């Protein structure tokens, strides 16, 4: 996985990137680094750019990438300050820099929502053969909504 897909495509990590901006950056990098070029290209950079494009090609993917970088919902100046502050904190405390930002919080909220709906249904209806289906549905919903870039969720 790429640490910063925006950097792999040479784009600034900010909200508001259009599909065309991402596509143009991908085409520029792909043309310059493709392994089928006469000079052999740069397969490692091409692979990183392909993975970055796969992540950033939809608005949902760009939002998830910004959340993973801890930049979602911030102005560019505040976002840079937040990254610098987190890095300073990690250096001072020796913490590895792990935090529940972006996808971690979203997944935790999905799990909590699925568990809450399942618990409410169990309290209301009791344990029946249909309860197994309800549990399977809740687990499936959590799993499917946690997969970035999956079609059919209104994200592209």
Question: Which residue ranges in the chain fall short of pLDDT 50?
Answer: 75-83, 96-100, 153-156
Q: Is the dihedral of CA 31, 35, 39, 44 positive or negative?
A: positive
pLDDT of 81: 46
Structure confidence at residue 32 (pLDDT)? 92
Gap between the Cα atoms of 142 and 49, Å rounded? 29
Q: Which residues contact 99 (CB under 8 A, 6 or more apart)?
A: 70, 86
Q: Which two tokens stand for residue 87?
A: 């890095």
Condensed to tens digits (0 to 9), the pLDDT of residues 73-97 reads: 554 444 444 445 555 555 555 554 4
**Which regions of the chain carry the CATH code 1.10.287.110?**
5-93
The answer, as to whether pTM is greater than 0.75, is: no
What would the pLDDT profile of 105-120 be if each residue is shown by its tens digit? Answer: 777 777 788 788 778 8
- Strand boundaries in the chain, DSSP class E: none
CATH top-level class for 5-93?
mainly alpha
């Amino acid at each position: 996985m790429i640490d910063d897909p925006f950097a792999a495509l040479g784009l600034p990590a900010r909200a508001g990137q259009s599909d065309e901006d991402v596509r143009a950056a991908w085409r520029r990098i792909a043309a310059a680094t493709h392994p089928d070029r006469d000079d052999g290209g740069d397969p490692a950079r091409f692979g990183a750019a392909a993975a970055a494009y796969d992540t950033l090609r939809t608005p949902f993917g760009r939002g998830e990438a910004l959340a993973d970088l801890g930049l979602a919902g911030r102005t560019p100046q505040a976002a840079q300050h937040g990254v610098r502050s987190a890095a300073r904190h990690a250096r001072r405390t020796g913490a590895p820099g792990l935090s529940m930002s972006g996808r971690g919080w979203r997944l935790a909220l999905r799990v909590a929502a699925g568990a809450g709906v399942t618990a409410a249904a169990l309290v209301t209806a009791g344990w029946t053969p249909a309860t197994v289906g309800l549990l399977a549905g809740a687990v499936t919903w959590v799993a499917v909504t946690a997969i970035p870039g999956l079609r059919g969720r209104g994200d592209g």
